[in-house]
Amino acid sequence: SVGIYGDRAIVGAPSNDDKGDGSGSAYVFTSLPTVSMRFTFLEMDLFGLISIGISDQEYYAEETASYINSFYNDDTTLQQTGLQLIVSNVMTLIQVTDQTLPFGSTSRVDCSVIDPLTLTFTLEMKYATGVSDVNFGDIITYPFSTEQFQQRYIDDYIKANDIFGEFESLQCVSEIRLPGWTLPSHLP
């Protein structure tokens, strides 16, 4: 049996007797509101690259959006990070709008001494959330907030699908920065 009230549904499972014969079960589902956000002038530093052409900008946008979508739609990642109750059903679109070329060296091993290529882009995101005070800035920056997350992004998305090797020299990336943010000191 099913009962619906507002944004909640209760589904009865009379044959699910995990608490003894004839106990049955009931499951409550709540519909989460969908939020749509659009941010312009976001930035990310790519260490080891000099510049990227139009087709590579499109590739970067597709792979970055795919990574963010995957990050928030993967149950294992959400459980490990404690985000499973905060954000779900994420859909992201990205469009690169500008790039700032590096002035200095781009070919050292240590990213802290490399001058980065900085991409500026627009990000549109739709997601469901059950938390009224969730910070959009936190949602878009979190998938890049640790070196482990950044390396996963580079290896499993940017480099894994780069059939022409345009991103082969990419060594590190920064967090996504919102307009007015500076590079956090804990990044390369």
Average pLDDT over residues 164-172: 93
How do residues 112-148 score in pLDDT, each as one tens digit?
888 899 999 999 988 877 777 777 788 888 899 899 9
Higher pLDDT, 15 or 160: 160
Q: Shortest CA distance to 147 belongs to which of 168, 172, 177, 182?
A: 172
Kindly indicate the confidence band of residue 188, based on its pLDDT and cuts at 50, 70 and 90.
very low
Residue 44's contacts (CB-CB under 8 Å, 6 or more residues apart) are 64, 118, 119, 121, 144, 173, 174, 175, 176, 177
Share of the chain above pLDDT 90, in %: 41
Query: How many residues make up the chain in this entry?
Result: 188
List, in order, residues 6 or more apart from 1 with CB less than 8 Å away: 11, 12
Q: Does residue 93 carry a pLDDT above 60?
A: yes
Alpha helices for the chain (secondary structure H): 54-73, 75-81, 136-141, 147-153
On average, the pLDDT of the chain sits at: 81
Report pTM: 0.76
Closest CA to 139 of 13, 19, 42: 42
What is the reported pLDDT for 74?
Answer: 76
Residues in Cβ contact with 132 at an 8 Å cutoff, skipping those fewer than 6 apart: none
pLDDT of residue 81: 65
Q: What are the tens digits of pLDDT across the range 9-45?
A: 677 777 666 666 766 777 665 666 677 888 899 999 9
Neighbours of 59 (CB within 10 A): 20
